[in-house]
Every structure is written in structure tokens, then in C-alpha cells.
Amino acid sequence: MTAVVPYLAYARKDRQTKARDPVTTRYVAQQLFEAAGTNQVMTLDVHNIAAFQNAFRCRTIHLSAKRLFADVIARKAGDGPVTIFSPDGGGIKRAQLLKEAYERLTGEPAGFGFMEKRRSRGVVSGELFAGEIKDATVLSTT
């Protein structure tokens, strides 16, 4: 049986951030998919590919939508400059890959930027902002 899961709930809960913190991705894999006898799980743009693959004890297939998003960005952005932006340090690699996909598709350079973001007890903070966004169409990854 193959589970096609366009959105894998709790995929971002793939590691412990505090003592006794559950690793929910593994729990979902074990209690929902493996208990049902799933042989392989196919999903789209997971947060952390290695953690996704390690959470499951069956075959995993990760599909990327970067090429599709790059095409949409190219059509929507118009002729002006484009900047691909990561809302936090953890998304820098995903944003860089999207930037590269956009540049390959269009042949045009794209800017890049990111922000500092920390979470603690439900409070989000951070002050660092890096990147040039003036007069650009800015697209943020998650």
C-alpha cells in the first residue's frame, strides 16, 4: 500500500527542542502509517528530508515543487527584480534551492535574504535582517 500524503502533518516536529519533548513525526509514522501496513509514503516538500526518511521504517518518496514554484514566481513577478527570502535560519537551504531553480528557469539573477527567528515558550523574537529587498518582488519560503 502506498500512502500519497501531499501535506504531512507534524513533519516539522522532527526533533527534540526541549527535554521530554516528543518527536511527533516518528509517532505519526509508527501509529498511523506503519500500523495500517503502509509499504511506502510519498509526500511533497517536507521540512527536513533526512528526518522524514529516518522517521519511517518503510520506503519514503519526497517530491519537490521547487520547479513549479519557480515557474509561478516567474509569471507573477513581472519584469522587476526578484528576491527569495527565508523567514528564519532553518529555511536558508530551501530558499537557496528555490532561488537556484528560479534562476535556472528564467536565466535572470535573483536576490536572497533571511531573518533571525527564535521561539521560546510561544514567543517569537529576532532582530537580524539580511538581504536587499528594495523595489523587488519578495517571496518567502516556509
Chain segment 11-32, per-residue pLDDT in tens: 666 666 677 765 677 777 887 8
Domain residue extents for the chain: 2-63, 66-140
CB 98 within 8 A of CB 64: no
Q: Which CATH class is domain 2-63?
A: alpha beta
Asked if domains 2-63 and 66-140 share a fold, the reply is yes
Q: What is the pLDDT of residues 45-90, one digit of tens each?
A: 887 788 888 888 899 999 988 888 899 999 988 888 999 999 888 7
Any idea which residues carry the catalytic annotation?
117
Rounded to an integer, what distance in angstroms lies between the CA atom of residue 33 and that of residue 1? 10
- Only one residue has cell 528530508, namely 49
CA dihedral angle for residue 130, residue 80, residue 101, residue 61, rounded to 10 degrees:
80
CB 78 within 8 A of CB 137: yes
Length reported for the chain: 142
The CATH number of the domain covering residues in 66-140: 3.40.50.2020
Q: What's the average model confidence in pLDDT over 122-134?
A: 85
